[in-house]
Amino acid sequence: MSENSRSAEISDQAIREAAEWFARLQSTGVTDADRSAFRAWLAMDRANHDAFSKTKKLWHELAVPARIAGRDSWHRRGLYRPTLAQRAVKTGAALSFAFLMLGSVALWRDAGLVDRAFAEHATSPGEHMQVVLPDGSTAYLDGDSALDTDFKGQDRSVAILRGRVWFDVVRDESKPFRVTVNEVEVRVLGTAFAVEDEASEVKVTVERGLVAIAAPGLAGEQLTAGEALSVAPGQGASRITVDADTELAWRRGLIVMNHTPLAKVIDELGRISAGRIIVRDESLRDLRLSGVFKADEPETILAALHSTLGLRTFRVPGIATVIYR
């Protein structure tokens, strides 16, 4: 069935319900019961799944706040008095428009909002969370991270939707522990390691034990303690030797930067502070920063950008931080 024909079968009711679920799951008061009811609603009808996918896709595409077109028309008087039914339709359209405008602004300042809203476990920027998994293994989520789990039957599977997660896996040779992110799969029996979903690649850092990694274009790689591998699916991988304590310092509330490119600095800022990070000049991304910073003090990183690189910042807390020269 084509995408167009499938879309045509999605009812207005399914679209409305999808929008309602989308809004409910983003609220701070969402409960496990809400998530269970949502999954049940998805399973009721294929149209529900398609309607929700369309709603989620729409919000993902709203990368910047939409501008209100025809602004003057909002103040013009009508040439006729609408009927009650017409007023109801207009009211519904206005509410839908307002819903989308508020959503687009929210997504613009917080790109991880959707992924976190529908994840089994998630953290907002600046938060951390330790999760004890059903097999006794531990997952520690850095800021702005999200994951789902599947421990049914013989499976011990975790899917990282975004962010950075450290695992301490209970050994069970009969049930390998699998972590997937994008097209990369990490498989272990019992070890401690971290997986990071970066902009265009996946990074795996091993603290203890042995880790196997598979990905398209990668003929299988194994890492041991003190090694890290950055994988860009379809483009190969880069292996390096690291100091695991330094590389995983974020677990102790520290951010260690050693000649770190500004693009990576921005990624770190995005994990510890709310709001969008904007760099006005793309050439600045090649600048590098060194230092040790507390993860709960993003302003010290911004101050270092000024004192060591001569960059300036303009910050609206919770909304955006602009970095410029």
Q: According to the model, what pLDDT value does residue 60 have?
A: 53
- Of 66, 100, 116, the residue at which a domain comes to its end is 116
Point out the least confidently predicted range of 179-193, 223-237, 300-314.
223-237
Rounded CA gap, 140 and 306, in Å? Answer: 32
199 and 161 together in one domain:
yes
189 and 304 together in one domain:
no
Nearest to 112 by CA among 134, 86, 70, 145: 145
Give the mean pLDDT of the chain: 80
CATH number at residue 210: 2.60.120.1440
CATH number at residue 286: 3.55.50.30
Nearest to 198 by CA among 160, 150, 159, 253: 160
Sheet arrangement for strand 276-279: 276-279, 320-324, 312-316
Q: According to the model, what pLDDT value does residue 46 have?
A: 86
139 and 213 together in one domain:
yes
- Of 221, 247, 273, the residue at which a domain comes to its end is 247
Count CB-CB contacts under 10 A for residue 215.
Answer: 24
* Predicted confidence band of residue 92 (pLDDT cuts 50, 70, 90): low
- Of 204, 225, 247, the residue at which a domain comes to its end is 247
Q: What is the pLDDT of residues 19-45, one digit of tens each?
A: 778 777 766 677 888 889 998 998 898
Domain count, the chain: 3
| Domain boundaries, position 293 | 253-324
92 and 8 together in one domain:
yes
* 239 close to 223: Cβ distance less than 8 angstroms: yes
3-class secondary-structure state, position 229:
strand
Nearest to 198 by CA among 178, 181, 222, 211: 181
126 and 243 together in one domain:
yes
SS (H, E, C) 262-278: HHHHHHHHHHHCCCEEE
Point out the least confidently predicted range of 17-26, 143-152, 255-264, 306-315.
17-26
Q: What is the pLDDT of residues 281-299, one digit of tens each?
A: 888 878 999 999 999 999 9
The whole model's pTM is what?
Answer: 0.67
159 and 193 together in one domain:
yes
* 217 close to 238: Cβ distance less than 8 angstroms: no
